Amino acid sequence: MSDTNALYRDLERLVPYVERMQGSEAAADPYRLQFHLMPPVGWMNDPNGLCRCGEWRHIFYQYSPFNAEGGVKVWGHYRSRDLLHWEKLPVMLYPDQPWDVHGAYSGSALVEDGILYLYYTGSVKYTGEYDYINDGRANNTALAVSHDGITVCSNELLMENADYPKGLTRHVRDPKVWMQDGRYYMALGARTVDDQGVVLVFESEDKNHWKYINTIMTPEPFGYMWECPDLFELDGQWFLLCSPQGVGKQGNRFQNIYTSGYFPLYGDFRGCYTLGEYEELDCGFDFYAPQTFLDEGRRLVLGWMGMPDAEYGNPTVQNGWQHCTASLCELKLDGGKLLRVPVPELDALHRRKIDPEQAKVFDLSCMSAGAGKIVIRECAVLEWENGKISLSLSGNGGAGRTVRCSETDAIKDLRILADTSSLEIFVNGGSRVLSTRYYPKHETCGITLAGIEEISLWEMGAFEISDMQHCCFAKKS
C-alpha cells in the first residue's frame, strides 16, 4: 500500500523471517502433504478470497504464521494456472488497520476488470470483563483492493457492528460478495441475540455503499451462529452454503462440534424464500468453512481440512505447523442434491499403477456390490454394508479421532484420495464425502481390500510449489 504504517512494515518483514527460520523444520515433517495446500509454518484455517482472475486461480487462507495452534490471522496466498503448480505469494492482508487489528478474518473476492476486490472481516477484541458475544468485540466489514493480484493498494472500512440490523450479537462476519443483475450482493453470517444462526443479505450499486435488504434463516433455530455463508445458483437451483455452529448430534448426523453444509433455497434470496432440508457437505472428522467460486462455468468448492475446537489434534504441531486445505472439487447437481467431485486436473498427478500392498499416497477408485471393507496403512478402517458406511481410526493413527458413520443410498462406488496424512473418501460419485486427517506410522504402507471390484489404484505425485517471496522483494527494492 502507498501509505503503509509501521505495523504493516514490521509484519511484512516478520512473516518471511519466521517462514525462513522455521520453514525447514515444517518442510522436513514426513506428515507434510503432497497434493494439498498447507501453511509454510504455523496454522491454517478457512480458504478465503477464492477466485479466477485471468489465467490465475487465487487461493487465500486464514494464516497464523507465528503460532501453530492459532494466533493472529493474516491472509496467506497461493496462486496457480493449472491447479498443480502453485506459487506461494507474500501475505496479502495483515491486521494493520484500526478495524482489523486483532485479525484479518475470512472473506471473499470479487473480480472486475482484472482487479481483486477483497471483502473481509476485521476483528477487534477489547480487553476486559466481556462475554465476547454481546460485548467486547467488533466484527467490521472491510474492502481491500489489489490491482496486481499480489499486493493491496487500498483498504477501507465499509461497515461496523452499528451498521448491521438490530437484534444481533457482535458475531457478524465472513462477507461473500458477488455480482448479479447489475448489482452487487453480500452475504454475512451472524448470530442473533436469541442465539440463532442467520445470514444477512446486503445490496450495493457501487461495491462500497451497502444496504441491508434481507435475513435468511430457518423457521426453527438451526445452531447459534452461521459462519462462512455462500449463496449461489447451480443449474437453476439456488443454494445457501454455510458452517453452522451449535447443531446437536442427531443419530449419525452432525457428529462433529461444528458442521458445514447447504440448504436448497427456493424463491428469491432478496425477498420471499424458503429453505429446504440441510445436507452436510462432509461426514468425516475434518472439513469446515468451505467456499465456492466460478471457474469458467464450473462451480468449484474448497474446504479447510480441519475442525475448530475439536477434541482431537494433529501431531504436526510439534513440527511447527498445522492443517491444510481439502481437495478442490466441482459441485454438481444430482436430483436436487450436491455432489462433490474432485477436479479432473488432479488426475495429472497419477504417477503409475500400483498394487495394494504398495499403496501409501494414492488415488483408488472401485465399485462395490453390497458390503465391503478397506484397511488403509493399518490404522484406518472403512467398512460398509448396504447404505451404511463407517470410518474408524485407531491408536496414534487417529490422534484422538475414533469413528464416523454415515447413512446413504446403497453404496455402489468409492474413490479414496489418500495423501501422507489425509484421507478423502468420496462415496457414490461424491454424494457423501468423509474427509479426515490421519497419522499412520511413516514406514507403513499397503491397503487390504474386500468386497470391491473394478479397482483402479494409482500412486499420486505432488504439487509443485514455488516461493515467490524473494522475487517480490527484489521487484520492490
Selected from 31, 43, 63, 105, the binder of ligand FRU by CB under 6 A is: 105
Q: Does 71 bind ligand FRU (CB under 6 A)?
A: no
Residue of 38, 47, 45 whose CA lies nearest to 70: 45
Selected from 71, 221, 276, 308, the binder of ligand FRU by CB under 6 A is: 308
Smallest distance, ligand FRU to C-beta of residue 382, A: 27
d(CA 95, CA 440): 37
Q: Does 289 bind ligand FRU (CB under 6 A)?
A: yes
Q: Does 74 bind ligand FRU (CB under 6 A)?
A: no
Q: Does 383 bind ligand FRU (CB under 6 A)?
A: no
d(CA 289, CA 302): 9
* Strand residues in 235-276 grouped as ranges (E): 237-245, 261-267, 273-275
Q: Which is nearer to ligand FRU, 37 or 447 (CB)?
A: 37
* Strand residues in 84-206 grouped as ranges (E): 85-93, 104-112, 115-125, 137-146, 154-159, 168-180, 183-192, 197-204
Smallest distance, ligand FRU to C-beta of residue 258, A: 8
Smallest distance, ligand FRU to C-beta of residue 360, A: 30
d(CA 435, CA 286): 6
Site size with ligand FRU, rule: CB under 6 A: 14
Q: Does 108 bind ligand FRU (CB under 6 A)?
A: no
11's enclosing H/E stretch is: helix 6-27
Residue of 15, 38, 48, 16 whose CA lies nearest to 463: 38
Smallest distance, ligand FRU to C-beta of residue 73, A: 5
Q: Does 46 bind ligand FRU (CB under 6 A)?
A: yes
Q: Does 174 bind ligand FRU (CB under 6 A)?
A: yes
Q: Does 173 bind ligand FRU (CB under 6 A)?
A: yes
Smallest distance, ligand FRU to C-beta of residue 151, A: 22
Selected from 62, 314, 325, 327, the binder of ligand FRU by CB under 6 A is: 62
Q: Does 141 bind ligand FRU (CB under 6 A)?
A: no
Smallest distance, ligand FRU to C-beta of residue 139, A: 8
User: How would DSSP label each residue in 32-75?
Assistant: --SSS---SSEEEEEEEEEEEETTEEEEEEEEETT-TT--S-EE
Map residue 434 onto helix, strand or coil: strand
Which of 46, 96, 286, 419 does the annotation list as catalytic?
46
In one-letter notation, the amino acid at residue 413 is: D
Q: Does 45 bind ligand FRU (CB under 6 A)?
A: yes
100 a catalytic residue: no
Report residue 447: phi and psi, to 5°. Answer: -130, 145
Q: Does 469 bind ligand FRU (CB under 6 A)?
A: no
First to last CA, the chain: 14
Residues that bind ligand FRU (CB under 6 A): 45-46, 62, 73, 105-106, 121, 173-174, 227-228, 288-289, 308
Return the active site residues: 46
